[in-house]
Amino acid sequence: MTTLVIGANGQIGKQFCELSQQAGTPIKAMIRSEEQAAWFSERGIDTVIADLEGDFEHAFEGCDQVAFTAGSGPHTGPDKTLMIDLFGAIRTADIAKQKGLSRYIMISAIRAEQPLEAPAKMRPYMVAKFAADAHLRNSGLPYVILKPGRLTDEAASQQFASSLEEAGDNQISRANVVQALLHVVQTASLINQEYVLLDGKRSIEEIIG
C-alpha cells in the first residue's frame, strides 16, 4: 500500500515522509524540482517530480492512496489559492478516482465549511478548502479529511483534542498533524471520516479510533 504524498517538500510533507520512512510505511514523495530530490534520496525516499499546475498524472503510477499536504501558502495571492488549494486538489481527487486508488486523505482546515467566519484575508483560502473537501466527499472515492487548526512548529506532544471546546485553543503542531496523518495512512479501515485536529490531552486512538 504505497501512499503518494502531494506537497511532500512542505513542512508537514517532509516530516511525514521522514516518519513514514522510519516506520517502514511505503510512500512516494511528489516534489516540484530535481533540486528538492536530494533531501529525499539521502533518506531513501522515492520521489516523483510533478506540479499541481501542470500534468501530474504520472505521479500516481504504483500508488494506492493519496495524502494531500500541498498548499499555496501565505505568501501568494488568491490566484495561487485557486490553482493549487482548489483546482489542484480537485484534479488530484479526479485522477485518484479515475485510476481506482483506494483512498484519498486530505489535509483540510478547521472551520473550512464556514469561510465567512474567517478573517477577511483568509476567506478565499477557506472557500478553496471548503470546495475541495466538498468535491472529494462527492467524488465516490473513499476519503478521510483531517481538519487541523492553526499550525505551529512545536514538538509532537502526541496529545490531541477534537473540538475547540475541548482544546480551549485553535492550534496544533505540525508534528502532531504528522502523527495523526501517519495513523490514518496506516489504518486502511478508516473510510469517509472527518476529524478536527487540535493539540489536547488525548491519544490519537481516542480521537480517530
Ligand X SMILES: NC(=O)c1ccc[n+]([C@@H]2O[C@H](COP(=O)([O-])OP(=O)(O)OC[C@H]3O[C@@H](n4cnc5c(N)ncnc54)[C@H](OP(=O)(O)O)[C@@H]3O)[C@@H](O)[C@H]2O)c1
Site of interaction with ligand X (CB under 6 A): 7, 9-13, 32, 51-53, 69-73, 84, 88, 107, 109, 148, 150-151, 174
CA distance linking residue 152 with residue 61, whole number of Å: 33
CA distance linking residue 9 with residue 204, whole number of Å: 24
Residue 180, SS3?
helix
Task: Indicate the residue whose CB is closest to ligand X.
Answer: 10
Amino acid (1-letter code) at residue 32: R
Cβ at position 209, least distance to ligand X in Å: 22
CA atoms within 13 Å, Cβ hemisphere of 162:
13
- What residues are labeled active site? 125
Return the C-alpha cell found at 106. 486530505
Nearer to ligand X, 47 or 69 (CB): 69
The answer to whether 10 and 153 are in contact (CB under 8 A) is no
Cβ at position 162, least distance to ligand X in Å: 15
CA distance linking residue 33 with residue 74, whole number of Å: 21
CA distance linking residue 90 with residue 75, whole number of Å: 22
Cβ at position 73, least distance to ligand X in Å: 4
Nearer to ligand X, 150 or 202 (CB): 150
Cβ at position 88, least distance to ligand X in Å: 6
Nearer to ligand X, 180 or 189 (CB): 180
Quickly count: other Cβ atoms within 10 Å of residue 138's Cβ: 9
